[in-house]
Every structure is written in C-alpha cells, then in structure tokens.
Amino acid sequence: MASTTLTAENFEKTILEGGTVLVDFWADWCGPCKRFGPVYEAASEQHADIVFGKVDTEAEQALAAAANITSIPMLMGFRDGILVFAQAGALPAPMLEEVIAKVQDLDMDAVRADIESQKATQS
C-alpha cells in the first residue's frame, strides 16, 4: 500500500478510522525530507495493515500549524486515534521499522488508562 496524501479535509477522519496511522510531515524544499521519502514509501509497501499518510507542509500550512510542526521531516504515529509517537528528523529504514514495531506492539488499554490517570491528576 502506497502512502496517502493527507489534507485538512481528510486528516482527522484518517487518524480516527485508520487503526495504526503514520504521518510524515514534509516539504519539497527540505533535503532531509527528500532522503526520508523513499524510506517511508518502501515501508508503506511492506506494511499493508498500516495507513501511511503524508502532509505537504507548504500546501497544508494550517494543518501543519494545528499539529504544532516546527521541524521537518516530522513523523507522527497514531493508534486508535491517539498520538503515541512524534519525532523530527529523517529516520534510516531500520529505525523506522523499530518505530513501526513499537507502535504496533503498544498495549492500547494501558495507554488509555495512562491518559485517564493523567487527566484525573490535572483535575
């Protein structure tokens, strides 16, 4: 499965309905983004069970701002609509595979419980 272009119109729906979703925030003028692009695309071909989205930060400036993107490339990982990973910088293929494995292996019941306990302590 190749990557999907994400826009302000389909971003939220994709994150909420996608199960495991990785999002690459990038720009055409960004050298590290251009080096990471083929690595990301190759991973998308190997993991048909994951949605690989790409956000062009130049075309989607409001979306990038809403996601607090200050450095690119920025990789975000979502599970069940919850942001579970965010890191700036171009990852080599082995590190990207590590991130994918860790995101896939998360105990989402534990993640949700942790979120709830953090909310309770903030109240």
So which residues are the catalytic ones?
Answer: 30, 33
The Cα–Cα gap between 23 and 65 comes to 15
Among 92, 110, 81, which residue's Cα sits nearest to residue 23?
81
* Cβ burial, residue 74 (10 Å; 0-12/13-18/19+): buried
Q: Which residue has the tokens 């019941």?
A: 109
